[in-house]
Amino acid sequence: MKILVTAKRVEDAESKIRVNPQGTGIVPEGLKYKINPFDEIAVEEGLRLVAKHGGEVVVVSIGGKEVQEQLRHALAMGAHKAVWVNHAGALDQLAIAALLAKVVEAEKPDLAILGKQSIDDDQNQVGQYLAEFLGWGQATFASKVESLESDAEKGKHPGVMLSADGKAVVVVREVDNGLATVECQMPAVVTTDLRLNLPRYASLPGIMKAKSKPIQELTPAGLGVDVTPKVVIQKMVPPPARKAGIKVPDVATLVDKLKNEAKVV
Amino acid sequence: MSSSLPEPVLRALREGFPPDFLTQEPGELAEYGRDWTRVYAPAPSGVVFPRSTEEVARLLALCHAHHVAVVPSGGRTGLAAGAVAAKGELVLSLRRMTRMEPVDVLGQTVRVQAGAITEAVHQHCAPLGLTWPVDFASKGSSTVGGNIATNAGGVKVIRYGLTRQWVLGLQVVTADGQVLELNGALEKNNTGLDLRQLFVGSEGTLGVITEATLKLTRLPGSLDVLLLAVPDVAGVLRVFREARQTSLTLSAYEFFTDACLARVERHRRFRQPFEARSGCYVLMEVEGAAPDVLEGFLASLFERGLVTDGTLAQSPSQASELWAYRESISESLSATGLPHKNDIALPIACLEAFCGELSRVFTERYPGWEICLFGHIGDGNLHVNVMKPEDMAKEDFFAHTKAADHTMFELVRRYRGSISAEHGIGLLKRDYLSYSRAPAELALLRALKTTLDPHHILNPGKVLD
């Protein structure tokens, strides 16, 4: 089978992220990047599925030439080939989904696995739009039945399963009051939640091999997609700074303040 | 020395200092009477919290006059019981003295009070692209004063050396309450004996460090973090030998055995990093490496079978994850069992021969016991942790390890090593000091102690008996 996965480049939360003084975006200096953690889970799940059923994993990223770092990371984890949609400017979720739909049409995968959202703008829209554009079924928020410390997880068993006839995908998804199991005819779109798997580290031989794996370059124009954003960020505002705490001399004062000032007890 | 404070001292403490200066509350006494060692029961007579050097000076003058024993106290993260007060001493905590002055960007220095937390100093300097390169797992709790008083080591010694190299000036209060300003912010000062260095590593026995001018350096550029699986300690040393022969700048070369990893996985619930378990793991950090040089090095390690598996962090958060395996060891050993800790150093050239003999000591003295070996092997520093067998009483365990330590330290002496690489001597290693220091040296140390602290009020019983 063929599985398409995404690897969005996002800011690493270990970097200090600050809104610029103009409020038009974040300060890029000193930032470090990584694969969106939900996408990294998607890559891992794709690799586990092809390890079990055979096939290949194609990883896609959209952005300037720097996104090749994230593609190489996914290739080092074990993805077989990479597609890079070269576009430097801002994109909204509709444009991203439209670009991915074109890549899917060209690659013809059986499954597209995406992170349920990216940790930079936390939109949680692309997977759903993509399914709509393709007319495919969707199973969002794929999660796992057992704990991530279970033997099945240690044995790298996939959490996303194929049905007995191999024509449908069975997904356990996290819902508000528990877990629901859904089945979708393939091809289908699956989006991953945090508890689906623990992504592997890129092995050293994998890192070496990734150097010679192909990265195919595409452009929005070549794909025939108009990426003019319909949604534009007007302004960014940092959250208000937290007020300094105070010290109270004793428990009685604390209780008094909780009662009469904070009014929480 | 009596185990409670003499009446005139108690009166002077109450009348001559702010009302919150002294506490004798049992919970505080238990807390401030101990460090990260769990061997001695804490029993201080009181804890004082000065806010200024002036208060420290008046306090010490008072204690000097009345022969009251004082234990200087920082973050109490020590592993040799140097900050333990188990005999009715007065604990002098510097936790209220945390002021940090603005960084001198031109001189690359910063003046801080002794109670400043190590990590707070890092955060203070980082926005200017500078750092104080004293770094270890306990940096979130340890203090600058404690780091200096113990000449702390840590994970970056291979790159930056010990704390000693990063202290320009010290303000020290002597046992009788005099305030010494030693060297200030001078990079060069060739005016006779460097008294400042006398107090670095003195473990609170010669004076109380109240302020320091720290030498800073540029924050490192790109750092590559690797975790490698190697079969055994000999393999760890072979990879080290290879790394030393390249142009790579190592900023850390750490190792740990699978026993350590298993306890980290259990306590921190970390996943197993590689599919197959391995005898040993190397955590290596490389500074500013050209990608092709680093990759060429790694490829050659693989081709020759020197490493069996490994990973190179792909992002800063992955680098932190890999570091966490190494940095969680100490806490995981203590949380999942009772370790008997040793911290030994060997000349790097002797490590291989020493480790070979060490495993014979283990087989003889600890047949079948769990031994967790890790450390800064790039500095010749091994942390030897013997875990208490489940069914053995604590007293029997310590009696056994005490006897076995003599066998190990005899071996350390034979290889001209040190019985305490970076943890210091404190109470824990005091009786073994003669394995690393000759009688003439010990006599000189005693003479210095008596000159600086004639009544032996400063951290009595630590380092020297």
Q: For B109-218, which CATH class? A: alpha beta
SS3 B334: helix
Cβ atoms of B178 and B57 within 8 Å: the answer is yes
The architecture that CATH gives domain B337-423 is: 2-Layer Sandwich (3.30)
Cβ pair A35:B315 closer than 8 A:
yes
| Site from A48, A77, A201, A211 to mutate, B interface, most B CB atoms within 10 angstroms | A201
Residues of B engaging A, defined by a Cβ cutoff of 8 Å: 227-228, 269, 271-274, 295, 298-299, 301-302, 307, 309-312, 314-318, 320
Query: Which of A12, A198, A207 lies closest to B315 in CB terms?
Result: A12
Cβ pair A73:B272 closer than 8 A:
no
Which one-letter DSSP state was computed for residue B434? G
Using alpha carbons, select from B74, B72, B68 the residue that is nearest to residue B88: B68
CA-nearest residue to A72 within chain B is B314
What are the respective helix, strand and coil percentages of chain B, to the nearest 5? 40, 20, 40
Q: DSSP string spanning chain A?
A: -EEEEE--EEE-TTS---B-TTSSSB--TT--EEE-HHHHHHHHHHHHHHHHH--EEEEEEEESGGGHHHHHHHHHHT-SEEEEEE--S---HHHHHHHHHHHHHHH--SEEEEESS-TTT----HHHHHHHHHT-EEEEEE--SS-TTSHHHHTT--SSEE-TTSSEEEEEEEETTEEEEEEEESSEEEEE-TTS--PPPPBHHHHHHHTTS-EEEE-HHHHT-----SS------PPPPPPPP---SSHHHHHHHHHHTS---
Count of CB atoms situated within 10 Å of the CB of A173: 18
Cβ atoms of B419 and B80 within 8 Å: the answer is no
Cβ pair B317:A34 closer than 8 A:
yes
A7-31 pLDDT, tens per residue?
A: 999 999 888 888 999 998 899 888 9
Q: Give the pLDDT confidence score for residue B3 in this predicted structure.
A: 58
Cβ atoms of B353 and B335 within 8 Å: the answer is no
How far is it, in rounded angstroms, from Cα B365 to Cα B385?
Answer: 14
Q: Compute chain A's Rg from CA coordinates.
A: 21
Q: Give the pLDDT confidence score for residue A146 in this predicted structure.
A: 84
Q: Is the pLDDT score of A189 beyond 60?
A: yes
Cβ atoms of B133 and B220 within 8 Å: the answer is no
Q: DSSP string spanning B83-116?
A: T---SSPEEEE-TT---BPPPBTTTTEEEEETT-
- Token pair, residue A102, equals 């074109």
Cβ pair A205:B302 closer than 8 A:
yes
CA-nearest residue to A13 within chain B is B317
How far is it, in rounded angstroms, from Cα A43 to Cα A78?
Answer: 9
Each residue's pLDDT expressed in tens, for chain B with a length of 465 residues: 345 899 999 999 999 999 999 999 999 999 999 998 878 999 999 999 999 999 999 999 999 999 999 999 999 999 899 999 999 999 999 999 999 999 999 999 999 999 999 999 999 999 999 999 999 888 999 999 999 999 999 888 999 999 999 999 999 999 999 999 999 899 999 999 999 999 999 999 999 999 999 999 999 988 999 999 999 999 999 999 999 999 999 999 999 999 999 999 999 989 899 989 999 999 999 999 988 889 889 989 999 999 999 999 999 999 999 999 999 999 999 999 999 999 999 998 898 889 889 888 888 888 888 999 999 998 999 999 999 999 999 899 989 998 889 999 999 999 999 999 988 999 999 999 999 999 999 999 999 999 999 999 999 999 998
Which one-letter DSSP state was computed for residue B163? G
Residue type, B173: V
CA-nearest residue to A73 within chain B is B314
How far is it, in rounded angstroms, from Cα A80 to Cα A101?
Answer: 20
**Domain extents in chain B:** 7-93, 109-218, 223-330, 337-423
- Considering only CB atoms, which chain A residues are within 8 Å of B312? 202, 204, 207
Query: Which of B269, B310, B315 lies closest to A33 in CB terms?
Result: B315
Please name the residues in contact with B47: beta carbons below 8 A apart, sequence gap of 6 or more: B22, B23, B24, B28, B29, B32, B73, B90, B91, B93
Using alpha carbons, select from B178, B202, B199 the residue that is nearest to residue B56: B178
CA-nearest residue to A201 within chain B is B311
Burial class (CB in 10 A: 0-12, 13-18, 19+), B327: buried
- Which of the four CATH numbers 3.30.43.10, 3.30.499.10, 1.10.287.130, 3.40.50.2300 does domain B7-93 have? 3.30.43.10
How far is it, in rounded angstroms, from Cα B286 to Cα A185?
Answer: 48
Q: Give the pLDDT confidence score for residue B1 in this predicted structure.
A: 39
Cβ pair A13:B317 closer than 8 A:
yes
Q: Give the pLDDT confidence score for residue B155 in this predicted structure.
A: 84
Using alpha carbons, select from A206, A38, A19, A187 the residue that is nearest to residue A105: A187
A207-258 pLDDT, tens per residue?
A: 999 999 999 999 999 999 999 999 988 999 988 888 888 888 889 999 999 9
Q: Give the pLDDT confidence score for residue B362 in this predicted structure.
A: 87
What strands, in cross-sheet order, belong to the sheet with B167-174?
A: B109-113, B207-215, B167-174, B179-182
Cβ atoms of B463 and B433 within 8 Å: the answer is yes
Q: Give the pLDDT confidence score for residue B125 in this predicted structure.
A: 97
- Considering only CB atoms, which chain A residues are within 8 Å of B307? 204
What sign for the dihedral angle of Cα B285, B287, B291, B297?
negative
Cβ atoms of B195 and B203 within 8 Å: the answer is no
What sign for the dihedral angle of Cα B332, B334, B340, B345?
positive
Cβ pair A34:B269 closer than 8 A:
no
Q: Are strands A111-115 and A2-6 parallel, antiparallel or unpaired?
A: parallel
How far is it, in rounded angstroms, from Cα A166 to Cα A95?
Answer: 32
Our CA dihedral for A98, A103, A106, A108, rounded to 10 degrees, sits at -100
> Beta partners for A142?
A173, A192
SS3 B416: coil
- Token pair, residue B122, equals 């890092």
Angle in degrees, CA B413, B416, B419, rounded to 5: 55
Cβ pair A203:B316 closer than 8 A:
no
- Considering only CB atoms, which chain A residues are within 8 Å of B18? none
Q: Is the pLDDT score of A95 beyond 70?
A: yes
Cβ pair A73:B309 closer than 8 A:
no
Closest Cα of chain B to A36: distance in Å?
Answer: 11
Q: Domain B223-330 adopts which CATH fold?
A: Alpha-Beta Plaits (3.30.70)
Q: Give the pLDDT confidence score for residue A149 in this predicted structure.
A: 81
Cβ atoms of B271 and B264 within 8 Å: the answer is no
Cβ pair A204:B316 closer than 8 A:
no
Q: Which helix (H) or strand (E) holds B388?
A: none
- Considering only CB atoms, which chain A residues are within 8 Å of B317? 12-14, 34
CA-nearest residue to B123 within chain A is A16
Evaluate whether B223-330 and B337-423 have a shared fold.
yes
Q: Give the pLDDT confidence score for residue A51 in this predicted structure.
A: 96
Burial class (CB in 10 A: 0-12, 13-18, 19+), B41: exposed
Cβ pair A207:B312 closer than 8 A:
yes
How far is it, in rounded angstroms, from Cα A258 to Cα B261?
Answer: 44
Q: Which residue has the higher pLDDT, B116 or A146?
A: B116
Taking CA atoms, B49 is separated from A136, B32, B453, in Å, by 68, 11, 22
Using alpha carbons, select from A130, A131, A161 the residue that is nearest to residue A145: A161
Using alpha carbons, select from A41, A70, A78 the residue that is nearest to residue A153: A41
- Token pair, residue A91, equals 């994109």
How far is it, in rounded angstroms, from Cα A144 to Cα A44?
Answer: 13
- Token pair, residue A264, equals 């929480």
Residues of A engaging B, defined by a Cβ cutoff of 8 Å: 12-15, 32-35, 73, 76, 148-149, 154, 198, 201-205, 207-208, 211
pLDDT class for A168, splitting at 50, 70, 90? very high
Domains and CATH numbers, chain A: 2-260 (3.40.50.620)
- Considering only CB atoms, which chain A residues are within 8 Å of B298? 204, 207-208
Using alpha carbons, select from A80, A214, A209 the residue that is nearest to residue B299: A209
Closest Cα of chain A to B226: distance in Å?
Answer: 9
Cβ pair A154:B272 closer than 8 A:
yes
How far is it, in rounded angstroms, from Cα A244 to Cα A262?
Answer: 15
- Token pair, residue A74, equals 């996914």
Averaged pLDDT of chain A: 94
Query: Which of A12, A148, A211 lies closest to B317 in CB terms?
Result: A12
Taking CA atoms, B229 is separated from A81, B358, B369, in Å, by 28, 22, 23
